[in-house]
Amino acid sequence: MSNFLLAPNPKDTRLTECVGGVDQDGKTVNKTVTVERPLTLFLNKQEIVTMMTIGDYPDYLAIGFLKNQNMLRKDDIITSVEFDENIDTVVVRTKRETDYEQKLKKKIRTSGCAIGTVFGDVIEKFEEIKLDDTAELRVSWLYQLSKTINSTPSLYSEAGAIHGCVLCEKSKALVYMEDVGRHNAVDKIAGYMFINNITPENKLFYTTGRLTSEMVIKTVQMEIPILISRSGFTAWGVSLARQANLTLVGRARGKRFLALAGEERIIFDKNIEG
Across residues 133-161, what is the average pLDDT?
93
Is the pLDDT at 124 greater than 80, yes or no?
A: no
How far is it, in rounded angstroms, from Cα 129 to Cα 144? 29
pLDDT band at 101, cuts 50/70/90? confident
Q: How far is CA 164 from CA 24, 70, 197, 209, 219, in A?
A: 29, 23, 22, 7, 14
pLDDT band at 274, cuts 50/70/90? very low
Across residues 160-185, what is the average pLDDT?
95
Is the pLDDT at 273 greater than 80, yes or no?
A: no
pLDDT recorded at residue 173:
97
Choice among 60-64, 132-136, 154-158 with the minimum mean pLDDT: 154-158
Q: Is 104 helix (H, G, I), strand (E, B) or coil?
A: helix
CATH topology of domain 37-122: Ubiquitin-like (UB roll) (3.10.20)
Q: Is 110 helix (H, G, I), strand (E, B) or coil?
A: coil
What residue ranges do the domains of the chain occupy? Answer: 37-122, 137-267
- Find out whether 146 and 230 touch, Cβ atoms under 8 Å: yes
pLDDT recorded at residue 270:
66
How far is it, in rounded angstroms, from Cα 189 to Cα 236? 23
Asked whether the whole model's pTM tops 0.95, one would answer no
Is the pLDDT at 132 greater than 80, yes or no?
A: yes
Q: What is the CATH number of domain 137-267?
A: 3.40.140.10
pLDDT recorded at residue 104:
79
pLDDT recorded at residue 66:
95
Choice among 84-93, 104-113, 210-219 with the minimum mean pLDDT: 104-113
